[in-house]
Structure 1
Amino acid sequence: MLEVEKTIQEAKKASLYLHRIPHNPPKKLGPYYSAEVVFSSHEEANQAFDNVNGDIVKYLDYTFVKMFKTDSEVSAKKRSNTEEIKLSSKRQRRENDAEETREDNEYHRKEIEELKENHIKETEELKEKLKAKEREFERICENHLKETEELKEKLKAKDREVEAQDKMISNLKKKLKKK
């Protein structure tokens, strides 16, 4: 009878499985954070699940999950002890976690590669724009230099003209004084 009573008491218990996945996982394979809390009654587990802030999401296996984000992504999953039997082996859980981590890391690596490629393309585009701006700036500078040289020559010509006129005026004044 004792075993039957223990089984009935175990069936009345409920657990709340919390796991936390970092937003920016390190490049090296890191730990997969998780914790499980066993409550003495379903009501207590339900209350704890309700206290977890976040949006309720329904998974394919008809379990409800609350997702919320802080500085890292966290989710809470409520399940009964009958589901616990399915995942009773800690080794099996670790293997499942490791597979998820590997998949996440592969996805993360692909994302990083795409970001690097986009960054390289953007850098190349910016370099081309910079070269075009430099060429335009050089062209403008050359035009300004040519214009400056032309203005200097015009100024020298005007100076020579003024000098010639000054000589003419001084010669005319000398002639007028002689008369």
Structure 2
Amino acid sequence: MVRIKHRYLLVNILYPDTKSSHLRPASKPGDDVPYTVQFRRPSPDQVNGGLLMRLIRDGVVELFGDYGSGKIAGSLQVKYFSPATSTATIRVSREHYRLVWAALTFTTRLPRPVDQPCVIQVVRVSGTIRKAEEEAIRRAGLSIRRAEAAAKSSNVSGVATASATPLAVAEGDDDVDMFNGIEDRDEPGDVDDDDDG
């Protein structure tokens, strides 16, 4: 029996602030939200797994035509989507996950009815859904620590810091390596955690 191997892409949907509110001084007490939190906000209510599937399929067709569409058609599935954290886990066959990754990378807007600018960031490619979930939890904790560090630094100086970038990390976080280790290599004991057998 042949076992079909899959890859799980952990994806963050980021919403760039077109008004550049992080560069303006805070005018109201609620306006001093750190930039790291502004960039990672919840998705609109219309964004769901079906919309993500349509976005991916349209992107693959635009980049790779009918060839790409046919290659991902049987295996593409959105396993998890959280509108609160704008995080999704997408399953695709191991041989063709790079087609989906390319389509997500070139996405600049969510389709109608949302029609909003976005950046879709693939943060982890894994052979098991469990490893993708663990990475999502680790990154959520890291984002919380960044926001707390940015809030502390802005409270200490009394002025909202414009230098707080999305990659600014709290001091002492030596375990952060944003771009290395995106792809998780198969280990001999790894098996796919599919619920559809």
Structure (1 or 2) with the larger CA radius of gyration: 1
- For Structure 1 versus Structure 2, the TM-score category normalised by the shorter chain is 0.3 to 0.5
| TM-score, normalised via structure 1 length | 0.35
The two structures have a TM-score, normalised by structure 2, of 0.32
Higher relative contact order (CA 8 A, sep 6+): 2
Structure with the higher fraction of residues in helix conformation: 1
